[in-house]
Amino acid sequence: MEKVPAVGTIAKIPAVGLGTWKASPGEAAEAVKVAIDAGYRHFDCAYLYHNENEIGAGIRHKIKEGVVRREDLFVVSKLWCTYHEPSLVKMACKKSLKALKLDYLDLYLMHWPMGFQAMEDLVIKGLVKDIGVSNFNHEQLERLLNKPDLKFKPITNQIECHPYLTQKNLIRFCKAKDVSVTAYRSLGGSREGTDLLNNPTIRRIANHYNKSCAQILIRFQIQRNLIVIPKSTNPKRIQENIQVFDFELTENHMDEIMSLNRNLRLATFPTTESHKDYPFHIDF
């Protein structure tokens, strides 16, 4: 097996994780196996992605092979909003656990900002180690943190973040509240994505360090102290995306990348736009 690179942790979470949205059931198990061999220990899953069964198969395979132990891994899943009714939360969590073939999750995220209390019970019952949120704006996060009966603080807010949507204000807010930030769509995504991987500034900086554009985009987030979860099912790219701990972007390069911001949000969840808790009607 290849030497596992050292990967830092932020708020208990390994800094680079494997994104799994759009990893088809046919490719997900193999992607997980390749990723574990390449040194990934953090897997970002969700009930909504319809591939937790296969991801679980990949994880189980590597545990059986003796390559990793369960406790070496940081497995995240997410509660989709059709299960926010308190009576459904435990059932939804158990569904994900069963598919992933695990006794517990390291982190369970509320995928979309609606309802939280029933998630806390999962920690008490030992089904999940920690809970977090996703796509929360600062008002929603503040409201949650101010709940007088809050038992467990969310350890992360998983949000869209890349050079075209740098999220300066929301990140500053989360950090001030001691909530880590996990950056999703850090490469600009795929089909509905952007030209981020071909952006001339990113390309020039990549050439300077003899790295790929994807590695620059991932390293950029790590140097902002964010957790980052690039998705790939391609073995070469899975390996490439975690080889980001052997170089450092200068302050000037970081500033240059930050200046690409154009507040361009790619994941807008348009079907929920009219909901009262839709998070993207305010600036951050």
Residues forming the site for ligand NAP (CB under 6 A) = 19-22, 44, 111, 134-135, 158, 184-190, 197, 212, 214, 229-234, 237, 240-241, 267
CA distance 130 to 248: 31
Helix ranges (H only) for 136-250 are 138-145, 168-176, 200-209, 213-223, 235-240
Place of tokens 């059931």: 25
> Which residues are catalytic, by number?
49
Which residue's CB is nearer to ligand NAP, number 83 or number 252? 83
Q: What residue is closest to ligand NAP based on CB?
A: 19
- Please state the closest distance from residue 66 (CB atom) to ligand NAP, in A: 27
40 within 8 A of 18, measured Cβ to Cβ: yes
Identify whether the C-beta of residue 161 lies closer than 8 Å to the C-beta of residue 181. Answer: yes
Q: Which residues contact 167 (CB under 8 A, 6 or more apart)?
A: 159, 160, 161, 181, 284
In degrees, to the nearest 5, what angle opens at C-alpha 219 toward C-alphas 69 and 153? 60
Contact (Cβ atoms closer than 8 angstroms) between residue 229 and residue 17 = yes
Least separation in angstroms between CB 202 and ligand NAP: 11
Shortest distance, position 149 Cβ to ligand NAP, whole Å:
25
- The C-alpha atoms of residue 248 and residue 220 are separated, in whole angstroms, by 9
Cβ-based neighbour number of residue 8 at 10 Å: 12
Q: Is 191 helix (H, G, I), strand (E, B) or coil?
A: coil
Please identify, using beta-carbon distances, which residue of 96 and 241 lies nearer to ligand NAP: 241
Q: Based on CB atoms, which residue is closest to ligand NAP, 17 or 253?
A: 17
Count other Cβ atoms within 10 Å, centred on residue 61. Answer: 15
